[in-house]
Structure 1
């Protein structure tokens, strides 16, 4: 057996890993859950000229939606745009049938913002990135 590390994996090799875990999961989950397609979407805040001033990148699978990235331009911060983006994101996630949201934020980013919106810290990664803490948060959708 050879152990190989690569930063350029072949698409077909990655598919074998995906298919393998799906096969394993079938022992514990129904086929409609095992073979459910990931949902990828974004929410944008744009000015009247179509310039992106902020947004959210997200994906979801099973019953969780993952808020991967949230960014706001300097001129939109502390103006309510972030809350509007998260509200639109949560509404879309709920319409798609997701029950929970999870996300991460770093100590110099937006923990108080998320907590104000009802998110709860469920874990911490100290010194990630070095000198800071990453907080893992979740929220149940109603």
Structure 2
């Protein structure tokens, strides 16, 4: 046995590793079964904004959110996050989390009610990777 460098998304390695993780999680009582959340906004057949993430273990993880520079500041990012949160709540999630960078969008997420819970300094050098979460409020039924 030896360590080899694999070609991303070409040899099925990611699926095999995910299967190993899922098996281990089942054995510990926490089934790893992420459900994708993939949203897009098209303009004339071209994707101009979107969100990629997944729900698992009652949480939404927002992996990637991107909006074409020409569309920024017009509410599309907010709408994408709101739709992802709606889907997460529908899937019985308790909250959402995201990681971003100090030079990108921590203030955007803070405006949406996300609170920082950690950071990784000097990633990249002179900047921070910022981790934020939002706990969904559960409506009280009489």
TM over 0.5: yes
Q: 1:16 to 1:108 in 2, by over 3 A?
A: closer
How many angstroms does 1:134 deviate by? 0.4
**In the alignment, is residue 19 of structure 1 matched against residue 17 of structure 2?**
no
**TM-score, normalising length from structure 1?**
0.82
How many angstroms does 1:20 deviate by? 2.8
Root-mean-square deviation (CA, aligned residues, Å) is: 2.1
Structure 2: tracts of 5 or more residues without a match: 138-142
Match of 1:35 among 31, 35, 39: 31
How many angstroms does 1:50 deviate by? 2.7
Corresponding residue number in structure 2 for 1:46 = 42
Q: 1:16 to 1:73 in 2, by over 3 A?
A: closer
Secondary structure in 2 aligned to 1:65? strand
Q: Deviations over 1:37-77 (max 9, x none)?
A: 21012111222x23211110011211111000000101111
Structure 1: tracts of 5 or more residues without a match: 27-33
For the 8 Å contact 2:95–2:133, the answer to whether it is kept is yes
**In the alignment, is residue 85 of structure 1 matched against residue 80 of structure 2?**
yes
* Alpha-carbon distance in 1 for matches of 2:112, 2:22: 34
**TM-score, normalising length from structure 2?**
0.82
Corresponding residue number in structure 2 for 1:76 = 71
Instruction: Spell out structure 1 runs of 4+ moving beyond 2 A.
Output: 4-18, 34-37
Q: 1:86 to 1:21 in 2, by over 3 A?
A: closer
**In the alignment, is residue 6 of structure 1 matched against residue 12 of structure 2?**
no
* Alpha-carbon distance in 2 for matches of 1:60, 1:19: 18
Q: How many positions carry a matched residue from both structures?
A: 131
* Alpha-carbon distance in 1 for matches of 2:65, 2:73: 14
* Alpha-carbon distance in 2 for matches of 1:81, 1:122: 25
Q: 1:130 to 1:46 in 2, by over 3 A?
A: same
Secondary structure in 2 aligned to 1:75? helix
